[in-house]
Amino acid sequence: MKVKELIKVLDDITGGRVVKDLSDIFTDKNPFVVMKSSNIPGKSVMETPGLVYGNPEAEIKKIAVTMTLTEGNIELAGATGVDAIVAHHPIADAANSGGVTLSYYLRLYNVAVFELHEAFHGLHPGISYIHGHKPFRVDIRYGGIPGNILYVGKALDEVKTLGDILDRLNKMMDMDKEHQVMSVERKHFSCDEMKDSATALQGEILLGTADSPVNTILHMFPHTGFTPEHLVNAKNEHPEIDTVLATISRVDKDSDLVKKAKELGLNFICGNSHALEIFENGLPLAYALRHYLPKDIEIVIFRERICSIPLKDFGSPNIKEYAKYITDNYLINNKK
């Protein structure tokens, strides 16, 4: 199989949303080619779903599916014989390749990289299913903002209360095992303060109780630009909404969104964080690739699990001495 054939497969999976040629990028032909910018000078990035870097004629024998391309991904690909990485999130020069240009780094290991992001959003109701509802409305540009995704859905038959949503998430994500892994690491490193991205942020009820009934759910993602005004508009559009579900990112109980939900008499619950999106988007994508690709093509999942360790507990005695030596001799300005 060649890289150019994987482009075609991803185009089939996304229903024709992948960039076919440069005219897709430099014209308005492809609505999933989107510029993302916070107006921070020099930090905007254009999403170009499809092949970002690689020789279309190169052979592929092993593919990795990941959420966000990092230098860790590139090194793991090089070490384990991965020929192509399919990343969910957009890829930018240097930002996703350890501060160096993508071409030099990826060429070193002969790795092709692809991105999908907005071209994959809205294709499936996975995140709503994981959280226990079936959407009857999906808008991936709510309020005219690209990526501001809104679902409105009916709770599944087995989901009657907010507590049912939390129980469903814990089983779906196998959180008992995640906590066991974290417990073993804490003991191994003698660090009770160690935390990780899988368990630090779990589902949480901000308005209502575990017994609060759930029927119609407004499902949104705070980090995409969803505002209290959007919440009011959505409630007006769908008066039957009784619960707000925030996933991927979250808000605290004092946020304007929660305050507005309280004014509207709604429940408010936070679900899975972005750290678990590899299960929601990455795993279905990997299974779709498995369906389309020849059986001799190996598919692996690159999962990043970030750990938080207090400075005093991080590293071996030798590496701590190294860090102190470098700091004392090179990083502290004693001329003042």
pLDDT in tens, 124-149: 989 999 999 999 999 989 999 988 99
Strand partners, 270: 204, 246
DSSP output for 210-237: TT-B--EEEEE-GGGT--HHHHHHHHHH
What token pair was written down for 159? 């989901």
Stretches in the chain below the pLDDT threshold 70: 335-336
The CB density around residue 104, as the number of other CB atoms within 10 Å, is: 9
Look up tokens 């890829």; give the residue: 91
pTM for the whole structure: 0.90
The CB density around residue 241, as the number of other CB atoms within 10 Å, is: 21
Q: Which strands form 62-66's sheet, in the order they lie side by side?
A: 50-53, 112-115, 84-87, 62-66, 298-301
Domains of the chain (ranges, CATH numbers): 3-120 (3.40.1390.30), 126-274 (3.40.1390)
pLDDT tens-digit series, residues 161-208: 999 999 999 999 999 999 999 999 999 999 999 999 999 999 999 999
Any idea what the Cα angle at residue 224 is, between residues 264 and 289, rounded to 5°? 120
Q: What's the confidence (pLDDT) of residue 147? A: 83
What token pair was written down for 153? 């859905």
